[in-house]
Structure 1
């Protein structure tokens, strides 16, 4: 089940004679709303979200398997089932179809960010990448903050891939699943049992990095962007 679709603390039961729903925006940020009726329509959900005039908005119901489906203004949802119903409200007059990991998803905004695509896929944002599956095999990575225009002809296709980068630490191959490593991430790749200490400090130098940080050194508290084939040299020094 997608991470952003499940909250085990929500029972779906009436709250003092009322019912809880979760209403989100196009960034998949959800807020709790309380409604009095056990059966609500698309129009009532728009009212609870403060979306007016209704003609300028779309409501999507979010199902437990991650599917999204347009909820028409007059269409009703029974809230008495187990679990809290979730909805997304878009300020839009039409939806756009994308394919994410070969699954069709209808989306209510003209643009979608890389981070939102990861949320729809239910993957960890820091450990996965989004790729635009272009015709002709020219795939392109989509950054978390990048907005993809969905108004171009045809359905856009995206795939998520787990990050796997091979680097060398003290001449040994290491696989990492994050593009940004902290000082202690690097130290522990060289010395797995290393911990902060008053007796030992670790010096880190690196090379063959990306254009943001092609080479340099690290001290505690710093981070570095990594790329395939990057080299790190970690040296312990006794303070005493």
Structure 2
């Protein structure tokens, strides 16, 4: 019998059926979704068996969630069994917690094992590009709250929290011309190229960038090569080339 490890992620990506016998590789991560490979010897496994294989001990102090092919998280109880050959799941998330929290993300229900969840993790679960989308927490009649990638949404309230992802889109002014951008942060060279599309790093020409009407974190200032700046609607940039030759 072939004793090589069947990698479920590779099998799903290739669109092929799962081998009838183990061992199998699955991915298990913590709340930051930092997944690592874990070996499971048999096709039918319980939640407790996955916790033990992932060294989440003692198992009774941990919660386990499976991530379905649609990206939704669902709690897998310690005594619940699943068949790796047919359930279509290869990723799991473990929490040291005694309580699960439910939230809605783009109208899909997710279960989570911590009272907070980061903006980056929400985008990952939603399956959107982190750099081109924002995630907002529904304020229930008030002003929705932007959750930064390194910020957190609070899941501890009695009601089910709702989050929404939206494409990023801003209009800024560069050398008097209106430009649409799709990120909350732009680099020095991204701004230079908005003013001078053919610009490239050169020993002969240096570009000076000054800006105004920026967000609270950087309302005005100057940029040098290697820097990034936060963007807001109607922010103004002045890009000036200087010949050093």
TM-score relative to the length of structure 1: 0.89
Shift of 1:29: 1.3
**Residue in 2 aligned with 1:205?**
210
Structure with higher RCO (Cα < 8 A, 6+ apart): 1
**Residue in 2 aligned with 1:236?**
241
With over 3 angstroms needed to count, the CA separation of the structure-2 counterparts of 1:116 and 1:45, relative to structure 1, is same
**Residue in 2 aligned with 1:140?**
145
Is residue 12–residue 19 contact of structure 1 (8 Å, CA) maintained in 2? no
CA deviation map 1:138-186 (0-9, x unaligned): 2111122222331211001111111111100000001111111111000
Residue among 165, 178, 191 paired with 2:183: 178
Residue among 168, 173, 178 paired with 1:163: 168
Structure 1 unaligned residues grouped into runs of 5+: 1-5
Q: Does structure 1 residue 34 correspond to structure 2 residue 42?
A: no
Residue among 106, 109, 112 paired with 1:107: 112
User: Within 5 A, what are the aligned runs for 1:85-104?
Assistant: 85-104=90-109
Q: Secondary structure at the match of 1:119?
A: helix
Q: Secondary structure at the match of 2:121?
A: helix
CA deviation map 1:34-65 (0-9, x unaligned): 12112211111010111122221111111111
Is residue 20–residue 84 contact of structure 1 (8 Å, CA) maintained in 2? no
In structure 1, distance between residues paired with 2:205 and 2:165: 40
Alignment RMSD (CA, Å): 2.1
Q: Secondary structure at the match of 1:227?
A: coil
Shift of 1:12: 7.8
Q: Does structure 1 residue 119 correspond to structure 2 residue 124?
A: yes
Q: Secondary structure at the match of 1:198?
A: coil
Shift of 1:108: 1.8
The count of residues paired between Structure 1 and Structure 2 equals 234
User: Within 5 A, what are the aligned runs for 1:73-84?
Assistant: 73-81=78-86
TM-score relative to the length of structure 2: 0.88
Question: Which deviates further from its counterpart, 46-55 or 73-82?
Answer: 73-82
